[in-house]
Each structure stands twice: as structure tokens, then as C-alpha cells.
Structure 1
Amino acid sequence: MAAVPLLPPKHLLLQACRGLPPEDHPVLRCAGLLADLHERRLTAVATGRIDQERAHMVLDIDRWVAAELPKAARDAQLHTETVGTVVDRLAQFSALAYVTLASSPDDAINDAALRLTELSIAYEHLATELAAGRRRLPNLTGNREYEY
């Protein structure tokens, strides 16, 4: 019996968002790219192209999750977001925390770090519930093949 591919743990996801070389995992690669896009977005005048690239990365994550993670029972509790949107927000908060460290007072740094910490814990809980089949995700891929 083959091992079930799992979502990466939060510490690896946060490392990928900070530009550390990710392990060979599609979600980690996308997380690093998303963080780069969010950093560019913080200083960009026009963000349309950046947001298009982010949308593609989010969809890539969601397609991987739909194809690789075990399907949850139909009566499993529905999560309000996809894994891709959660990883995108983690990348956003990571980029914001990094910029805040360089230019803001202590209160802003603490706020940014708290948001990032809380979301990373929520991600880890979601990953655990998905792996156990206790949670299901909305299908935002547009492909009925991935229907939960």
C-alpha cells in the first residue's frame, strides 16, 4: 500500500515563504512563489499581473490537493477556504511580516507575527483534519473530476 501524500507541516511552509530552499513538494514550491509575488505586490504600482499569477498558483495547489489527498466523506465538515487560499494568505502574511520587521514599530511587528502564527496553526489543524478525512474542501477548481 502506497503512503498517502500529506500536506507539508507549517514549519516547512513558513520556511518556503521566507525563501529557504523548499523540500521537493509542490505546495512548498508554490508557497515560495506566492510569497515572492506578495512581496512584489507590496511595492507594485500595477498589481493585475501579480494577482493573475497568484490565482494560478492557488489553483495549482488546489488541483494537487484534490488529486493527491484522500477524499473526505460527504458528511465531513466543509471548510470555508481551499488549501490554496490558505497558503496564499500565509504567503501574504509572511511577506507583510518581513516588510514590517524592516520598517515598523514593535506593535506592528507583534501584530504581523501574531497573525502569521495564528494562521499557520490553523493551517496545521486543517492539514491534520484533511489527512484524517474529517474535513472536506470546497471545489473551486472548476473541474467536476475533483468533486469531494
Structure 2
Amino acid sequence: MTESYDTQTKRITALHEYEQVANAHAAGEASDEDRDRARRAALNAGADYNALVCAADGFIPEKVRIDDYPHPVGAIVSGTGGLLTVVDRDGWAFLACCTQHHTEGRANGFFPQMSHGRHLAQVEPSDVDSYDCPFPNGFFG
């Protein structure tokens, strides 16, 4: 099941709050209780322990809504080791191996993510009209 936008927003907000408290704790400006309270709030909002460790270091990845993604649905992009197609997967941007396999529910690909407003997967639009899918059987990657 794909995480909803509201659920992600709550989780990301809690992780940002934990990041601030963890940094304040490291600087001696917040108590152990403050840090534990922020940790519990992040866990209750759906974060896992790995996300807490990453947040303390300033890395809070989040999926990008399709309306906020800089390349439109159907665009062919490159820069991640090959050509991919931008598709809408339940309101999130998804870089699929091809539109056909995504429509069939067999798409290999990934959700592009951001951290602190910076896109983690840098891709550029490609000027090709179409391409052969590198995964003819369309397996999940």
C-alpha cells in the first residue's frame, strides 16, 4: 500500500522536529527527556529507527507528489543510468522502466525523493520520442 500524502506529511514533520531536538541535545540545549519525547512522536507518526538515525544527521528523504515533480507524466528522462518514464503512482511521481509495464502493474523503477527541498535523483528530460524498455519482462526491481 502506498503511503498517503497526509501520512507522509505527519511523518516528515515529526522527523524534522526530531532533527531539531537531536541537534539541540547534541549542543547541550535539550534534555534527554526532550529527545525521547521527539523520538516517540516520530515513531508514532510512522517513522522507523533507521529514519531517526538519518534525521539526526540531517537526511530526511520524502517522496515527491506528481504535481510537484519538475517533469510531467509521460516524460522520458535520463541521468539515473538509463532512460525512464515519469508516471503517476497513486499521486506520487514514479520513474518507471516504461509506461506499458507500469500500466500492466509490472514496472521496474523507483520513487524519486527529496531531502530538505533538494531532489536526490538528478534527471534531465531526454529528447527521444520512445525507447525500448530495458526490462522486456517488466519485473519489479
Q: TM-score, normalised by structure 2?
A: 0.27
Q: Which has the higher contact order (CA 8 A, sep 6+)?
A: 1
| Structure number having the greater helix percentage | 1
After TM superposition, the score normalised by the length of structure 1 is: 0.26
Larger strand proportion of the pair: 2
Bigger radius of gyration among the two: 2
